[in-house]
A = this chain, B = another copy of it.
Amino acid sequence: MAQEFSEQHRVVYYDTEVTGEMGIGKLVDMMMLASEDHSDSVGVTTKKVLGLGLGWVITQHLLTINRLPKNNEVVTVKTKAASYNPYFCYRDFWVKAADGTTLAKMHTVFVLMDQEKRKITRIVPELVAPFESEFTKKIERNPLPKAPQTITARHDYGVRFMDIDSNHHVNNVHYFDWMLDVLGADFLIKHRLKEMNIQYKQEVRYGQVATSEVEISGLTTNHQIKVGSELSCLATCRWEER
């Protein structure tokens, strides 16, 4: 059984949006932090991974939301590196309220990137053993997001200096802001996100312009981020009316 890690997090005003609820990008930020803290706690630090010439890359998140955390709410983030096969690692996250109810869940797929070759490489056992992850030969067949067919709305977002993290990458969470902002305040205020399936294809870099396109089809929205003609990211969201 994979080892579980958990930590508490206080949601503060700058994590929240006009709805008084935590933003989706911030929610994912908070889960990613738990993953990083888990890794540090077992000695699989970013420094160690980089020292092997490698880096973790997220290829997909499957997010389910029951209720978004509110301003000043203290939540517990639980995570485990559930399993791995020769090329993929699977990690699960749960965000729990003080009464133990599950506010959100996320299933995340990671691969290992050879930093020099810029290619995906086989999972290195010493990087997963400390998590007591289960080895499996099975490759998961997770549902994939659908590309928008007819574009309902489109907006360009320049990548800002503040969007790049200490690994010189645009932090994954900015994709959430680009994908959701394009829906507009009216949609975002009247709907609640229930599920989001996001797949990362190609990194966006500082100085580039990310074009966010969405197809709104009732309570489903299909999103893509492109840089020029190159596809960077896809997502499908399911919403409910507020």
A residues with a Cβ closer than 8 A to B are 12-14, 16-20, 23, 25, 29, 32-33, 36, 71, 155, 158, 160-162, 164-166, 168, 171, 173, 177, 180-181, 183-185, 188, 206-207
B16 in contact with A29 (CB, 8 Å): no
Of the listed residues A168, A173, A180, A181, the one surrounded by the most CB atoms of chain B closer than 10 A to its CB is: A181
Chain B contacts of A188 at CB under 8 A? 161
**Docked CA distance A177–B185 (Å):** 21
Q: List 25 A-B contacts (CB under 8 A).
A: A12-B33, A13-B33, A13-B36, A14-B29, A14-B32, A14-B33, A14-B165, A14-B171, A16-B166, A17-B164, A17-B166, A18-B166, A19-B166, A23-B162, A25-B162, A155-B158, A160-B177, A160-B181, A161-B180, A161-B183, A161-B185, A161-B188, A162-B177, A162-B181, A185-B206
Q: With A160-B177, A161-B180, A185-B206 as known contacts, state yes or no: A166 contacts B13, CB within 8 Å.
A: yes
Chain B contacts of A164 at CB under 8 A? 17-18, 185
A205 to chain B, nearest CB (A): 11
A21 to chain B, nearest CB (A): 9
Chain B contacts of A12 at CB under 8 A? 33
Closest 10 CB pairs of A and B: A160-B181, A18-B164, A20-B166, A14-B29, A161-B181, A162-B177, A161-B185, A161-B188, A12-B33, A23-B162
Chain B contacts of A180 at CB under 8 A? 161-162
Of the listed residues A13, A25, A36, A181, the one surrounded by the most CB atoms of chain B closer than 10 A to its CB is: A13
Of the listed residues A23, A71, A166, A206, the one surrounded by the most CB atoms of chain B closer than 10 A to its CB is: A166
A80 to chain B, nearest CB (A): 20
A118 to chain B, nearest CB (A): 19
**Docked CA distance A207–B33 (Å):** 31
Chain B contacts of A183 at CB under 8 A? 161
A150 to chain B, nearest CB (A): 22
**Docked CA distance A173–B12 (Å):** 14
Known: A13-B166, A14-B29. 5 other contacts (CB 8 A): A13-B36, A14-B32, A18-B161, A164-B185, A185-B206
A18 in contact with B184 (CB, 8 Å): no
